[in-house]
Structure 1
Amino acid sequence: MITPISKELHTQLQEKIDYKTKPIGALGTLETIAKQIGAIQNTLTPKIVAPTIVVFAGDHGIVKNKPVSPYPQEVTQQMVLNFLNGGAAINVFCKQHNLNLHIVDAGVNGVFEKSDVLLDYKIAMGTKDYSQEPAMSATEVNTALEKGRTIVKKIHEKGTNVIGFGEMGIGNTSAASLLMSYFTKTSIEACVGSGTGLDDKGIQQKATILREVYDKHINNINTPIDVLQHFGGFEIAMMCGAMLEAAELQMTLLIDGFIVTSALLTAYYIDQNIIEYCIFSHTSGEQGHRKMLAHLNAIPLLNLGMRLGEGSGAAVAFPIIKSAVSFLNEMATFKSASVSEANE
């Protein structure tokens, strides 16, 4: 169970922020973030320790048989190799901001050599084709959730208290659209976007396919875990378990784009207290992401038109998180700086 964030320190945190050498509220969202992280850590002097981005990768059976992506399935494996070789955007941003990076093989249709960066938690060589059958068995989805929890426990044991989530998986915008449609009660057509670059005709075709998938499975779905089992990917289910564990361990969660938010949406309907531990890094270029954020009453930090995935938005937003904690801890007060306060 996720413990609700204690409100006991809110007043003290706000007073600490208000006595800094600035007009009340002058640092805007930075003040909100500082107060949130202080409350999560239950301290007036929060710290960021060993910040880490974890990218979960998995393949989706639908891609083999249905035109839901302009890219073939093997691109998932190729991109994971790119991550391991340090050549992707997430590698660049993690290096720039001194973020630890782990890549999780949750269910990629390929085999990788051992690597210090790679965490091998493979369940199978991709999910099944959910146009024909559930994406996962009940055992597989529960295994994915537990493996996600295990990954975060091990990272937390090394001292990490801020964790960002990313993903890679050709076809996973389709899974995210199905999850979004179920949880937000939004039509499939309003959830589906271009993904990795579909044109208008491709988007319409994708929506038609996913509408058929949704209708095929909906009568067999009763719980959030059922939704993951029928529509999800191994990387999405594993990420969902990881998020739940991170919040239980009172870590700060950095949420990336459309697919990551779909995993969070699932976790939210398992335990709604998770939302208090989340910082939403950016608004994705995927139309469904904006609607998902609105459903969660989430206000993202950035809107850069990014739709890459990989945790890239979380990594780019991280310096903002760092700035919020730094000003709270290091900025002078009116008294310490001998600066006159505003007249009452």
Structure 2
Amino acid sequence: MSLLENISRNIYPLDKSSMEKAKKRLDRLIKPKGSLGKMEDICMQLAGIYEQKEFDTSKKVIIAFAGDHGVYEEGVAPDPQDITVLQFPNFTKGLCGVGVISKFVGADVVAVDVGINCDKRLEGVLDYKIRKGTSNMAKGPAMSREEAIRSLEIGIEVSEECIKKDYKIIGIGEMGIANTTPSTAIVSVICGCKPEEITGIGAGLKKERLEHKAQVIKRAIELNNPNPTDGIDVLAKVGGFEIGAMAGVILGCSANRIPVVIDGFISYAAALIAYKINPKCKEYMIASHMSAEQGTQKALEILKLSPILNMDMRLGEGSGAALAFNIIEASNYTYKNMATFDEIDMGR
């Protein structure tokens, strides 16, 4: 049995008994029932994931993956592709968006190269390179099915290494010039919507180029004809190595009963891939923020996720997931430390 098959078979529903115990405590806190909104939802979800009434969320990490994309040659991104190799080492140096925010919230960052278009090893970056970028999905499949499975299994492997190091909550992030193009293709295929309805500007594409980008995505979907019910097929035909690796983290966390915090639009695409492989993994996801990228709402409707934050962010990298860590910890701290009616004898 492959690693992917083994992990997928070992994802189970949340523990309802622990969730009920958490709800009883939440209902006895000195406040009106349900008045802390999503903070209460987070605590009940965490209880169900950890199978415990109380839990520790202090040791946290963002796992970020980087890969380049053959479809870049179609002119779907405004920036030079070598930005991927230049920017990605900054993730662990605390210099870029996710690095700075992670440092502020006390989270570590693990950076993993799964397909950057370069030959050298990058400082502070784990080398799991499958190859130097995907193929151009507008001319054929982005990768082979075997490569798609490998990208998923890399995500599983890296997540399990972090879990062995006692990380209690994991966020996902990415880097890859042009990666909103495969992400939009994935969302379009799985959600059954037209690319022109959900194609966004990504890292700053001029609006007059949006139609061209949408047409490239449409052409890639028509040419490759991915099966919307088969997450691996969709990933192989119109995906990216970093998207597959993030989906692998979701599956790995779910099988090991660790919450996984989803970042922005690229990670929604990864979440859809993971969901198609095993729908139960959705229960382990926490959506960090409402991305400003087009197509966000379509993806979230399929996943039935309600993001914690709405900050008009579209940076990616894992920046939104890192920012959400503080809200999750604040929820847990409130749940543990707020007095109950019984403790202060308020007679309710």
- The answer on whether the counterparts of 2:58 and 2:329 sit within 8 Å (CA) in structure 1 is no
- Give the aligned partner of residue 38 of structure 1: 47
Task: Give unpaired runs (5+ residues) of structure 2.
Answer: 1-8
Aligned equivalent of 2:337, options 314, 327, 330 = 330
Q: Give me the CA root mean square deviation.
A: 1.5
- Give the aligned partner of residue 60 of structure 1: 69
Within the alignment, does 1:5 sit opposite 2:5 as a pair?
A: no
- The answer on whether the counterparts of 2:118 and 2:132 sit within 8 Å (CA) in structure 1 is yes
- Give the aligned partner of residue 236 of structure 1: 243
- Give the aligned partner of residue 117 of structure 2: 109
The one-letter amino acid of 2:341's match is F
- The answer on whether the counterparts of 2:19 and 2:53 sit within 8 Å (CA) in structure 1 is no
- The answer on whether the counterparts of 1:134 and 1:230 sit within 8 Å (CA) in structure 2 is yes
The one-letter amino acid of 1:311's match is G
Aligned equivalent of 1:135, options 139, 142, 147 = 142
Offset, 1:118: 1.8
The one-letter amino acid of 2:257's match is Q
- Give the aligned partner of residue 224 of structure 1: 231
- Give the aligned partner of residue 290 of structure 2: 283
Relative distance call for 1:219 and 1:39 in structure 2 (3 A) is closer
Aligned equivalent of 2:164, options 153, 157, 160 = 157
Relative distance call for 1:336 and 1:197 in structure 2 (3 A) is same
Which deviations, in whole Å up to 9, do the C-alpha atoms of 1:254-310 show, x marking residues without a partner? 001000010010110110001111110000010211221122221111111000000
Aligned equivalent of 1:194, options 192, 195, 201 = 201
Q: Which TM-score applies when normalising by structure 2?
A: 0.94
The one-letter amino acid of 2:20's match is T
2: CA distance, partners of 1:13 / 1:125: 47
- Give the aligned partner of residue 81 of structure 1: 89
Q: Which of 43-52 and 151-160 deviates more? A: 43-52
Aligned equivalent of 1:168, options 172, 175, 182 = 175
Offset, 1:7: 1.1
SS at 1:53's partner residue?
Answer: strand
Offset, 1:114: 5.7
Which deviations, in whole Å up to 9, do the C-alpha atoms of 1:177-204 show, x marking residues without a partner? 1100110001111121001111221111
Relative distance call for 1:182 and 1:238 in structure 2 (3 A) is same
Offset, 1:81: 2.9
- The answer on whether the counterparts of 2:89 and 2:125 sit within 8 Å (CA) in structure 1 is no
Task: Give unpaired runs (5+ residues) of structure 1.
Answer: none
Offset, 1:49: 4.5
1: CA distance, partners of 2:35 / 2:215: 48
The one-letter amino acid of 1:61's match is G
SS at 1:167's partner residue?
Answer: strand
SS at 2:30's partner residue?
Answer: coil
1: CA distance, partners of 2:178 / 2:128: 20
Within the alignment, does 1:19 sit opposite 2:28 as a pair?
A: yes
How many aligned positions are there?
A: 339
2: CA distance, partners of 1:15 / 1:219: 46
Aligned equivalent of 1:209, options 190, 210, 216 = 216
- The answer on whether the counterparts of 1:49 and 1:159 sit within 8 Å (CA) in structure 2 is no
Which deviations, in whole Å up to 9, do the C-alpha atoms of 1:31-56 show, x marking residues without a partner? 11111101111111111142110111
1: CA distance, partners of 2:227 / 2:121: 39
Relative distance call for 1:219 and 1:266 in structure 2 (3 A) is closer
Q: Which of 97-106 and 214-223 deviates more? A: 214-223
- Percent of residue pairs identical: 36
1: CA distance, partners of 2:19 / 2:155: 31
2: CA distance, partners of 1:145 / 1:292: 20
2: CA distance, partners of 1:149 / 1:10: 26
Q: Which TM-score applies when normalising by structure 1?
A: 0.95
Offset, 1:83: 2.2
